Chain A
Amino acid sequence: MDPILLRRLNAERRARRAVIHVTELEGGRDRIVREGDTVAGPLGSAIDAAFLSGKSGLVEAEGRHFFLNVHLPPARIVVIGAVHISQALAVVAKVSGYDLSVIDPRTAFATEERFAGVDLVADWPEDVLKVRPLDRYTALVAVTHDPKIDDFPLRQALESGCFYVGALGSRKTHARRMERLLAAGVPQAMLERISAPIGLDIGAASPAEIAVAIMAEIIQAFRRRNLRAEERP
């Protein structure tokens, strides 16, 4: 591998951009292709398919052999609400290998003391998401119960194609939320992507147990999404 290419590859990965490192086996020449770049011919088709599936592998194109190493951004979790469940979720996410950030404009909740060592932003989601946009490799978890705080990021998450969108609240709370978002112009089909009640149904009762249920649902959403992608032609 070329040293300049390694630097570029790592820079793309740090910036959470999906890239494929393409190595031609005959001769060892290599290059980097970013998601959305146009590559002509059968190799281009194989590259497009690899971005979709996230699977690395050898491909043959026009009599030449290439290795496509797919680097998709690692999944991360953005939590709206610096509540008790979020404290536990921060711990569970860490051991599960997912990055996590917490956003909450209520400074009484969003304190360093309650979230030591956690990436915490005490500001409105409207402002934070402008500089730290959501993407397809992000899970959005809204747990404040407060429409003023939760609704905007929920809508952003659906429109950004976040692989998981979950919202805390009783069935009644969620029904009202659906009505509000529908009235605000979010399509019904999109709204149905919201996981509510949040978390896998494991009978979770305590904040820590609910955090485990949410984490399990996020893992399921991420892994199943990849499996489905692999089945694409």
Chain B
Amino acid sequence: MGDGFETLDPLMVAERWMDEGRDVAIATVMETWGSAPRPTGSHLVIDGEGNFHGSVSGGCVEGAVITEALDAIVSGEPKMLEFGVADETAWRVGLSCGGRIRVYVEPLG
């Protein structure tokens, strides 16, 4: 494995954060339709302070996912989120690429 694997891989970062005693949530792209920016299986990991690493989109919905992740850390419950095209009436945040994604957010532990 290259140097980047340990330092940049989101699940490796999640393990390191866990070892440092930080609360961690893991967000995973579980389904995509259309031109979604990140493939299925992509991870964004979030700690209890809102620090994050990785991505589930091109930066379009990460803010919302982080907010949900902080809730999941507090509640201890996983949650499925769905994001579509940016549309003021239907979505608070959205993907400008026209795709749709489902993101699973779960606390570690």
Contact = CB atoms under 8 A, between A and B. Distances in A.
A16 B14 CA distance: 19
A58 interface: yes
Given A10-B12, A70-B41, A2 B109 contact: yes
A-side interface size class: 20 to 34
Given A3-B108, A3-B109, A99-B2, A58 B30 contact: yes
Contacts of B5: 14, 74
A57 B104 CA distance: 12
Given A58-B31, A69-B28, A3 B11 contact: no
Interface string B28-41: 10110000000111
B50 interface: no
Interface string A1-16: 1110011011001101
B90 interface: no
Contacts of A69: 28, 41
A7 B11 CA distance: 9
Contact of B18 (A6, A55, A94): A6
Interface in A94-122: 94, 97, 99
Contact of A23 (B2, B15, B104): B104
A67 B41 CA distance: 9
A233 interface: no
Nearest to A15: B1
B45 to A, nearest CB: 10
B18 A3 contact: yes
Given A1-B26, A74-B5, A55 B40 contact: yes
A159 to B, nearest CB: 24
B106 interface: yes
Contact of B31 (A9, A57, A70, A74): A57
Contact of B106 (A1, A10, A56, A94): A1
Nearest to B12: A10
Nearest to A4: B109
A70 B9 CA distance: 15
B80 A74 contact: no
Contacts of A227: none
Contact of A28 (B30, B41, B106): B106
Interface string B81-109: 00000000000000000000000101011
Given A7-B15, A28-B106, A67-B28, 8 more contacts: A6-B14, A6-B18, A13-B9, A14-B5, A56-B40, A57-B30, A94-B2, A97-B4
Interface of B: 1-2, 4-5, 9, 11-12, 14-15, 18, 26, 28, 30-31, 39-41, 78, 80, 104, 106, 108-109
Interface of A: 1-3, 6-7, 9-10, 13-14, 16, 23, 25, 28, 55-58, 67, 69-70, 74, 94, 97, 99
9 contacts: A3-B18, A3-B108, A6-B108, A9-B11, A10-B11, A10-B12, A56-B39, A56-B41, A70-B41
